[in-house]
Copies of this chain bind each other. A is one copy, B any other.
Amino acid sequence: MSQRAGGLVGASHPRLDSIDKVTGTTCYAGDLKRPGLLYSRLVLSSEAHARIEMIDVEDALRVAGVVAVLTAADLPIVAEGPFRHNQPLARGEVVFAGQPVAMVVAESEASAEDGAEAVFVNYSPLRPVLDVERAMAPGSPLARLEQPGEALGGVEALHAGVGGGEGDAPEEDLSGNVLGQRFYRHGDVAGTLARSAAVVARRFRTSWVHQGYLEPQTATAWVEPNGALVVSTSTAGAFYTRDQLSKLFGLPAAKIRVKAETLGGAFGGKLLIVEPLVAGAALVLRRSVRLAFTRTEDFAAASPAPASVIELQIGALATGELTALDARIIFDRGTNAEWGYEEIVPTLIAGPYRWSAYSIRAYGVQTNRVGLGAYRAPSAPPAAFALESLIDELAQALGADPLDLRLGNVIDEGDAGVDGNAWPRVGARACLQRLRAHPLWSKRHGLPEGEGIGLAVATWPGANDPAAAACRLESDGGLTVITGVADMTGTENAFAVIAAETFGVPFEQVTVSMADTGSAPYAPVSAGSKITYTVGRAVEQAAADAREQLIRIAADELEVAPDDLEIVDGVIRPVGVPAGGLTVADIARRLFDFGSRHEPVEGHGRTAQTSLAPSTAAHLAHIRVDPDTGSVDVLSWIVAQDVGRALNLAMVEGQMRGGVAQGLGWALSEELIHDATGQLLTGSFLDYTIPSADAVPHIETLIVEVPAPDGPFGAKGMGEASVIAVPGAIANAIAAATGARMDELPMTAPRVWKALSCRRST
């Protein structure tokens, strides 16, 4: 961690991209202009499960402006994979309603659409598998008849730094739809629960939800005259996309250039959905081809987050000490045969608490729904909804204060986690303490009728991945950070602060240059709250390297020892002598003028973080329930989050507020609904309700800083923790307000009304 501090870290800096965004000048992937650009529209499967008997493209080819109609056999694919995105177009069998079956490429969007409507596909329907629990049972029909090939691999590790749960499987008779299982077991769970003073249990359900990014999936691909494939896309991972396309099409990685364009939201959901399609079409047609999903296509054919069923039981002693946890978790995988949330959830279901015994079983089950993708803290919101609800019930059963109960059991650095690893430094206790001191917490008793205040805690393990970055001094004294990151959450702002603070120049002197894979330092996928922690660390190293280079040059020019110089606010000066000195711009100009005694100043950082920096948050929700309708008004919100170190205060607060807003949708309204045949009923923002601005209350942010030992200036990733506990906090607030316990997400007005009715009737 850097020892120097010029006051930039922790302050609020204007977001570098804000003027472009508010003035509408930002170029998104769909704004790229290419001469001779072709547009495409997909023919999506109308069936959730069927054999494709025939695809008739003749009529489509006769539509004016249609250039080609491509089916699976037309794409130059050399690698098969079970992950449906590696089969850009269905072969033989369709496994979800919305699966791309053919791609119509045309001179205009309108022609492509007309062409897609003219494609006739003859299906032999197969029985769709839609109920995730019944799908597990032996004898269930399979959601996919054809055996998938070997996976390309590497996806599961993208999203979180945890995994495991690879204990011995219990003897169970399961169908072939169960694609993944994870188990953790420690101690005598049944005996421990039997000896507990209080035990609570509940079965929870959560729904499929969509990431709700405003910009639909969009990519454009073309082939340079020399055969190089170029893809400009709304992706969270340029290098990842390049490497997967390289395997898929059998091209050397260096023959593919992927540019991650400015994202209009992603939240985990923008990875390799549209790129294989446009890349395949461009390779076949040798033209520039764009695919921009319509909103409906994005709901039907992208990669939303899956539904779950969580059966959870926990106990505690009369002293308030938590004892045992027994969890059985089923996550729908839809048609994603490559990875599932069961790989991540086992550690998350235990929360930030100590358990003396536990049994955790997690299953990933294929069904005939769209393949799952990541969504901000994959599996964590359902897990926290279940666990935090039961912790509150347990407090009630014990007559304990729910915050005190949590504080009495919250883990600290060194405590063993359910995966057997010791917890690194972690801020959950500090977050809870911040809430306990907050006036809203003491207001929770004596609220007006129908109001309640609920508490819930979020934990995200953090993630890591190799990363690199460069930091170059320009001839006019500007400092350029060069990165291959897809900026999903404003991380460029964090990089600018890190570089400015480390190098010793004003924030305004730093530019962040987002390069494509042709020349960028390697960057991992923007996922799992790891970019600031990994690439940010590489930026810090790169800036420190550049600073040292410049100081050595200045020392040589000034004939003093390098150790006697420092760079403060853009001025290189003798240590501790504020007057005098040379500006960085002066030296930079000389570097390129004198004729060359000095090497260019270009710093580099390469990191492979092996530590994890978990981020935690504690939320307080103040709500009012309308007893007649069941609708929930959120009156105010407090979130205390440990961010390690706030690099750019305004950005950190924005992330926290955005996380809460997004969590409100997950908690109260968002749900992808399929009918009994697997057809999506909620394919637009009219049917799929994300919170509008008037549904989001004032959100008070309390910044907790428990520095991450390996993070840049102590910072840790903070994108996920702010969303996780929102459903749990609302559920607990509803219970506080009404006594009714919710067990299903989203907690829509009808569901709340029903819970109130059940309560009234019991």
Contacts and interface: CB of A to CB of B under 8 A. Distances in A.
A83 to B, nearest CB: 15
A12 interface: no
A476 B253 contact: yes
A598 interface: yes
A27 B225 contact: yes
A519 interface: yes
A607 B597 contact: no
Contact of A518 (B226, B254, B515, B592): B515
B606 A25 contact: no
A155 to B, nearest CB: 11
A6 interface: no
A746 interface: no
B225 A478 contact: no
Contacts of A602: 468, 521-522, 604, 606
Contact of A246 (B226, B476, B515, B609): B476
Contact of A607 (B33, B226, B476, B599): B599
A254 B474 contact: yes
B154 A25 contact: no
A25 B239 CA distance: 26
Interface in A301-323: none
A599 B466 contact: yes
Contacts of A560: none
Most buried by B among A27, A153, A600, A609: A600
A35 B604 CA distance: 36
Contact of A511 (B254, B515, B520): B254
Contacts of A480: 254
Interface string A492-521: 000000000000000000010101001111
A243 B474 CA distance: 9
B596 A608 contact: yes
Interface in A19-39: 20, 25-27, 31, 33-36
A585 B330 CA distance: 38
**A: contact size bracket:** 35 or more
A271 to B, nearest CB: 15
Interface in A578-601: 591-593, 595-600
Contact of A224 (B27, B243, B595): B27
B593 A519 contact: no
B597 A608 contact: yes
Nearest to A603: B604
Contact of A225 (B20, B36, B595): B20
A485 to B, nearest CB: 12
A515 B522 contact: no
A254 to B, nearest CB: 4
B25 A225 contact: yes
Nearest to A463: B596
A31 B226 CA distance: 13
B607 A604 contact: no
B600 A466 contact: yes
Contacts of A680: none
B592 A467 contact: no
Contact of A254 (B26, B513, B600): B513
Contacts of A224: 27
A608 B604 contact: no
A684 interface: no
A35 B27 CA distance: 15
A246 B348 CA distance: 52
B606 A253 contact: no
Contacts of A468: 599-600, 602
A475 interface: yes
A606 to B, nearest CB: 4
A296 to B, nearest CB: 28
Contact of A35 (B33, B239, B478, B522): B33
A581 to B, nearest CB: 22
A598 B153 CA distance: 18
Most buried by B among A226, A472, A482, A610: A226
Contacts of A607: 599
A600 B253 contact: no
A260 B85 CA distance: 36
A93 interface: no
Interface string A406-445: 0000000000000000000000000000000000000000
Contact of A513 (B154, B518, B593): B518
Nearest to A608: B599
A157 interface: yes
Given A515-B518, A602-B521, A226 B25 contact: yes
Contact of A515 (B153, B465, B519): B519
Interface string A604-630: 101111100000000000000000000
Interface string A213-248: 000000000001111000000000001000100100
A77 to B, nearest CB: 17
Given A154-B593, A254-B513, A593-B153, A598 B226 contact: no
A158 to B, nearest CB: 10
Contacts of A243: 475-476, 592
A589 to B, nearest CB: 10
14 contacts: A33-B36, A35-B35, A239-B475, A243-B475, A252-B474, A252-B478, A253-B475, A254-B474, A255-B511, A466-B599, A519-B520, A597-B610, A599-B608, A602-B606
The 7 closest A-B CB pairs, nearest first, are A515-B519, A25-B225, A254-B511, A33-B35, A522-B600, A599-B606, A253-B474
Given A20-B226, A466-B600, A519-B520, 7 more contacts: A33-B35, A239-B475, A255-B511, A472-B521, A521-B602, A522-B602, A549-B606
